[in-house]
Structure 1
Amino acid sequence: MHLTDDPSGRRLGAALAGLFVTFHGMTAHPDERNCECHWGSPDELSLLKTPNVGLDPDLLRRTWQAVDWLDHAAVLRRILPQFAADLVAGRVEPLFGLEEAGDSFARGRWQQWPDDQAGAVREFLHAWWVQSLTDPEAVVPAHQVLAMCAEESGTLGPWLADWDERTGCLSDRRLVEAAQEWECELLGDRLPWYVNWYEHDEDEMRAELVAWLLGPAGRRLRNAGALQDLQHRIRLLGLSGEERWADPHWPGHRY
């Protein structure tokens, strides 16, 4: 996989290499099992208990999507270097949205892993997120990376803080693109991605995202030359009930 030779590309490349070094040689638990009818064969399961063997794309997908591992954390550590590389390259294609991949991270409770392991995961996530904002050749749209990061961590704060620090033209364009993707769902008082992990508060994340869009992000949208219609739709997020629907700029969405 080729990464551009700019600071964000180099950082991401180093983070991927760090995952490989940290998780090289890890395997699923020796007693791990899964349903042969719904997940895969004993031979495929044995691959998860064998270190440093690449998985074919379909097996990798079934592995990270499965919710019924005895030790999900060990399985995630086993596949993490390959899984992360596929995420960055845009080869992970969930059924609904990239937040499904974030849910796999959340189930693994990676923040509770030993410091070197948790640190390697954290650096990868932030490096990938920043690269999606600042690299013109980033493969995965920034709004999808944000949904994944929000789902794996249960919070938007660190990711929005990263965005606040990246104020270049490309990062602003990513903001316009994201706002265009989000405005319809947000005007229906819904978070624009699925929250699957039971410990995460969807309403809290939506409120945080709206507050950010109405505050610093809203000013950036204006400065970036976002269309007036989009600016008005973001402004409408600060209104509620009839006040919102009666506004002359209400887009007429039906929910």
Structure 2
Amino acid sequence: MHLAPHSARRRLGAALENLSVTFRGMTAHPDEANCACHWGSPEELSLLKTPDVELEPDLLRRTWQAIDWTDHAAVLRRILPQFATVLVAGRAEPLFGLEEAGYSFARGCWQQWPDEQAESVREFLHAWWVQSLTDPNAVVPAHQVFVACAEASGTLGPWLADWEEQTEHLSDRRLIEAAAEWECELLRDALPWSVGWYEHDEEELRAELVAWLLGHAATRLREAGAPADLQHRIRLLGLTGEDRWTDPHWPGYR
């Protein structure tokens, strides 16, 4: 399937608008509290209990990054329309990687929310991901969006399926870029990002990503004209132990 950039942008815009409608009027729990020394002031906390008031950027960042809310789901619903807009604009400012934003979604257990709310979140994540693959003006690199979506959902399947559907040149380029970003850690038998939610199985995610790279992605990388060295490093993921290290194309990573 070939999705035109303007179609992807329209879909993402509609998804953001739907978040605003779905979560309008949401607030943190009335009894929610947090440490004034480490999170913020009572006045800032009161803003989370006030609906539809935009938070200044640093307060928004502290809010989605905090791991110690009593009711993280309610806090996430309160900030979600603004948070999603900031993510798309590349202004989330995680400390390490965009997987941290995914952790915030995962802590909110959004898949267990009422159907309308869960579907609104799901459509936003898919729309953002597809836009990152198909829109040359996408702000956030596709491999970072992929990681955020993977951590938000605890699975790779839906996002890999989207990638398989997007077969145009730009999506192929995004695949080459992602493979180049990931191969070093994968050759160490490690996932290329940190898993931050205890319910997510890091080894299962790594195995699924490797299997996809060795299958669908390997053929696509070859057809897209990916550098030969990169294709060999992906091939090496199918080898183990000494077979990998003694291969003439082993890059010497340890």
Aligned to 1:7: 7
Aligned to 1:16: 16
2:251 matched to 1:251? yes
Aligned to 1:75: 75
Amino acid of the residue matched to residue 36 of structure 2? E
Amino acid of the residue matched to residue 87 of structure 1? L
Cα distance in 1 for residues equivalent to 2:117 and 2:51: 17
The Cα offsets for residues 167-224 of structure 1, whole Å up to 9 and x where unpaired, read as: 0000000000000000100000000001010000000000000000000111000011
Aligned to 2:87: 87
Aligned to 1:44: 44
Cα distance in 1 for residues equivalent to 2:196 and 2:214: 26
Aligned to 1:221: 221
Amino acid of the residue matched to residue 70 of structure 1? T
2:130 matched to 1:134? no
2:218 matched to 1:202? no
Aligned to 1:165: 165
Q: CA deviation at 1:5?
A: 6.7
Cα distance in 2 for residues equivalent to 1:112 and 1:216: 31
Cα distance in 2 for residues equivalent to 1:70 and 1:155: 25
Amino acid of the residue matched to residue 157 of structure 2? G
Aligned to 2:124: 124
Aligned to 1:186: 186
Aligned to 1:107: 107
Sequence identity, in percent? 79
Higher relative CO (Cα under 8 Å, sequence separation at least 6) belongs to 2
Q: TM-score w.r.t. structure 2 length?
A: 0.98
Query: Which residues of structure 1 form unaligned runs of 5+?
Result: none
Q: CA deviation at 1:253?
A: 1.1
The Cα offsets for residues 31-71 of structure 1, whole Å up to 9 and x where unpaired, read as: 10001111000000000001111101100010001011111
What is the number of equivalent residue pairs in this alignment?
251
Q: 2:5 touches 2:136 (CA, 8 Å); kept in 1? A: no
Q: CA deviation at 1:81?
A: 0.2
Aligned to 2:58: 58
Q: 2:5 touches 2:131 (CA, 8 Å); kept in 1? A: no
Aligned to 1:32: 32
* RMSD, aligned CA: 0.9
Amino acid of the residue matched to residue 162 of structure 1? D
Cα distance in 2 for residues equivalent to 1:122 and 1:227: 34
Q: CA deviation at 1:25?
A: 1.1
Amino acid of the residue matched to residue 193 of structure 1? W
The Cα offsets for residues 131-153 of structure 1, whole Å up to 9 and x where unpaired, read as: 00000000000100111111111
Aligned to 1:174: 174
Secondary structure at the aligned position of 1:6 is classed as helix
Cα distance in 1 for residues equivalent to 2:196 and 2:115: 26
Query: Which residues of structure 2 form unaligned runs of 5+?
Result: none
Secondary structure at the aligned position of 2:101 is classed as helix
Secondary structure at the aligned position of 1:189 is classed as coil
Amino acid of the residue matched to residue 128 of structure 1? W
